[in-house]
Amino acid sequence: MDQTRRKRHTGWWLLLAAIVVSTGIAFAIMWRPALAPLTTAPSFDDARIERGANLARLGMCASCHTADLARPFAGGKPMETPFGTVHSTNITPDATTGIGAWSPEAFTRSMRKGVSRDGRRLYPAFPYNHYVRMTQDDVDDLYAYFMTRPPIEAPARANDMIFPFGLRPLVGFWNVLYLDDAPWRPDPRQSAEWNRGAYLADAVAHCAACHTPRTRLGGPDLKRQLDGGEAEDWYAPALNRNSPSPLPWTREQMHTYLRTGMAEDHAVAGGPMQDVVMHLAQADDADVAALAAWAHSNLSQAPVRATPAQTAGPLPPPALDDPELPRMRLGHALYANSCARCHDVGRSPGSGTALPLQKAIALYDPDPRSLIHIVDDGILPQDGEPGRWMPGFKAILSIEQAGALAAYLRKYGAGQPAWPGLDEQVRKARAP
């Protein structure tokens, strides 16, 4: 009996020890201390500020941290995630509501660890898992740029997260899984320009954040790096050998596309990519050329595929033996009445006409969302900016018609198998 009691007591002590150890580990993972506020305004030389400005453009910082163009970097922009709505923060040097009280150490910690000056975890909608690989000089340059912007008072907007994802300390466990703080290393087999582009793509522009699939916990699926992902409900195509592009890219085309949003034989930038192009158009051209060199080297690994894009022309009517003949006839009629007048003419840099749809990458994507958004919402230039324009047809086409048009374009424009769940995707895109 005594031996049994001793074993029971030993078991309880072991359980208690395990709880204490587990609690200590969890506390170490989740908790971070607040850092002292800045007491003396720092000063920076103009060259450092200018380098920081270029990095902010390459990183598209304003895209997320600007809800009102009249209040740049004041935050407040809602970002929808599978775990709820996150609102971006004020990164102007306002001392109370922005980062005016942040020391260089506090700014660096936020960029490398995803931790605010007050010790709160930042949600990984802020891509610190990429910024962690920035050089310290680049982090310091960014700090100089943001600390010299006009301060704007803009209190943080409350996030609306699904329980339990609103509990910020839990982000510490996400970091254990997905935050790799190993420094970025150049590839000695590649040129200096390629390595510059690879560094910018990974550590600054965070291209993989959109172009890599996500796990159920919202982390990057590193086994499928650059295999295609999503951004704001648009499909972000693969940037590797799995690229769905119907025609190969040249390096010059990629450079032009990143600067202007349009390149010969390739589609116009739409959706979130428009914002990327707007910022890259203002960045240092040598850096954009380096990004193009990196992207082109990845895309050049894609096998050359025989596609209708090689022999672009007017799209044909559906075959009489098509098993979905009524649906395809409807799609073809909509194409002929709404699309052909621009897309059958062919595009030149100065024309008002459009790309032959056999060359439109959205038709070849493994996911129909980008095409659905283009048909529904069109492609509009940024406010006040010149650019290509396409009208949206959401107000004109019913869900049935939009689905029929997308199905027809996929089959007779791209020669690809039908998208599964296409009609459901159209309904989801139309949902309020």
Measured CA to CA in angstroms, residue 354 lies from 68, 124, 201, 280, 377 at distances of 32, 38, 30, 23, 16
Q: Which residue has the higher pLDDT, 111 or 168?
A: 111
Residue 94 resides in a domain: yes
Mean pLDDT over the full length of the chain: 90
pLDDT at 168: 86
Q: How far apart are CA 134 and CA 115, in angstroms?
A: 16
Q: How many CB atoms lie within 10 A of CB 52?
A: 23
Question: Which residue spans within 88-203 are E strands per DSSP?
Answer: 160-161
Let me know whether 415 and 376 are in one domain: yes
The CATH number that applies at residue 281 is: 1.10.760
In total, how many domains does the chain have?
Answer: 3
75 and 134 within one domain: yes
Per-residue model confidence (pLDDT) at position 350: 53
Please work out, in degrees rounded to the nearest 5, the angle formed at the alpha carbon of residue 398 by the alpha carbons of 328 and 407. 30
Task: Judge if 166 and 52 occupy the same domain.
Answer: yes
- Cα 308 from Cα 414, distance rounded (Å): 6
Q: Say yes or no: 294 and 316 in one domain.
A: no
Domain closes at, from 178, 202, 219: 178
138 and 163 in a single domain? The answer is yes
Predicted pLDDT of residue 24: 47
Residue 381 included in any domain: yes
pTM of the predicted model as reported, rounded to 2 decimal places: 0.89
Residue 168 and residue 52 share a domain? yes
Question: Of 19-23, 346-350, 409-413, which range is least confident?
Answer: 19-23
Q: Is residue 36 a part of any domain in this protein?
A: no
Write the CATH number for 396: 1.10.760.10
386/268 same-domain check: no
Do 106 and 124 reside in the same domain of the chain? yes
* Residue 271: predicted pLDDT: 92
Domain membership of residue 185 (yes or no) is: no
- Domain extent, residue 416, equals 308-430
The pLDDT of residue 167 is 86
Residue 67 lies in a domain: yes
CA distance 264 to 280: 18
CA-CA distances (angstroms) from residue 125 to 73, 79, 134, 255? 16, 8, 18, 28
Q: What is the mean pLDDT of residues 71-88?
A: 94
36 is written with which tokens? Answer: 């002292």
Mean pLDDT of 393-411: 96
Same domain assignment for residues 145 and 245:
no
Is there a single domain that holds both residue 234 and residue 172? Answer: no
